[in-house]
Chains A and B, each alone.
Chain A
């Protein structure tokens, strides 16, 4: 341990100043209110019918599943960031592992919440366990997500126990390995919900599994970075600049990998010039072009910030992280909507009634308007769920001992 690190770690965590606690409380209350508002809207959605969303038969999934994908990725990423150093016995990122796990748990809960708000019959959720159809990737994902949530919680608990000496580092390491495996599996299986479906050319690729994992790493790390930078500012923790830079560089690498996968997929679609060409057009110049180019540009900006030493300032890293999460959100949007945007059968048929809402009228014309855009209700529910996430996050920060410890009680503990 260098003197510098020791010094930064020796900085005592002072008692929380009054304003922080109050601010946190206010934030908690606001988040709770937003979450309750979201629940009210959800009840409204169930009672009044999902017709109040802009999803319809020709684009039967929308923003809820988009955010589901995003949050599975965010949660998997968080846990991977936390567990990889332990598994491989390498230096971590300055003791943020518990925060990362808690962020990951919150994200998992939100992912599940997004699926639940998307269900038509949430009271029938018990059927998933009574009648589980084990050939369904959605069923696999539910099973894995459940296991993953449990493991995440156990992992956090184990970390806390290890910190207080009530559990061995070796046991923690084993658990870390399981958690890591689970995290990778969770997002791979989520990818398979789409990647195994022959129904949409846009989705059906072997690459989707690995690609989701790389997106998870990218977005998960970015989210952890955001939380950590913010908490650093508020004084909750004190993060060494070198750890920040380490993570920023990693962010750049993950971005490169993700864009590499994207490039491979685009080329594979576009090269033969046949039907796949439709996909390329849809993304590059069609209705999804905005999201495509945003993702690419945000990715380039992120890489620049990550790899140019003079740009690796905290504020810019924060910007890069936010852009990374948005970039992955754009990617989810492209994947989900893009899949539905190109119908397999484009015979002219009934195209009024519940096939298309006013949010998406372009059944048979690419380059027309998008087939889907969320309704105010859907946006409201999403904001409500996000509010729930913020609430849980703040609650955890308030009630759980998530701060990085400064006393060195074991060798591994301060290598987090």
Chain B
């Protein structure tokens, strides 16, 4: 059976601290303003605000990045195949060298905001590359997004956001391997997924 890497994120544990987002930003040496993973608030209209009226309130934190769908809309839409799904592990990957900057993938992906386009020459806060040495260089006028830290996968390590979470809320592994921790969690716990009605079959599960 083919491998499909995915994540189970425990919403009961997630406290919206942004550590996973910052870990990703540094690990991948992201340009200023780019966030491949972001901590969003499900509740009110602004960051950290709940829904409801005091004191009957509800708030949830949803960390959002590429969902590495089993049926990715972006892969089908890219005219040059710069975004493609890897055979060996199901990661939806992005080849900067091929990207012509048409932004079709951004239009095709229903997950608002997970894809980032470098609208200018990437600017970096630090004048040297931070994070991992194996991360490909960022290019102006190309699209980029979460790669499940493909450079770490190549070394047998898990994505940076997984081991960074101080709440131990993030789990990662092969969804198709029923003995993996992540597959077991999905079986044992109730979960929700984002935009399942779109038919993209996302590989990110939010345990509730």
Contact = CB atoms under 8 A, between A and B. Distances in A.
Interface of B is mostly: loop
Given A127-B98, A348-B49, A197 B77 contact: yes
A349 interface: yes
Contacts of A61: 103, 107
A342 to B, nearest CB: 10
Interface of A is mostly: loop
Given A136-B79, A348-B45, A349-B64, A121 B112 contact: no
Contact of A353 (B33, B102, B195, B198): B33
A365 B75 CA distance: 30
A133 B81 contact: yes
A243 interface: no
Interface string B77-112: 111111000000000000000111111101111111
B100 A121 contact: yes
A395 interface: no
A223 interface: no
Contacts of A350: 35, 38, 40, 47
A125 B106 CA distance: 19
Nearest to A142: B79
A343 B64 CA distance: 14
Interface residues of B, number: 57
Contacts of A132: 79-80
A136 B45 contact: no
Q: Interface size class for chain A?
A: 35 or more
Contacts of B43: 348
A198 B200 contact: yes
A119 B104 CA distance: 10
B45 A121 contact: no
A267 interface: no
B142 interface: yes
Given A56-B119, A138-B79, A345 B107 contact: no
B121 interface: yes
Contact of B113 (A131, A193, A345): A345
B100 A120 contact: yes
Interface stretch (A45-53, A151-159, A163-171, A177-185): A45-53
A265 to B, nearest CB: 19
Given A198-B110, A349-B40, A349-B64, A121 B141 contact: yes
B179 to A, nearest CB: 32
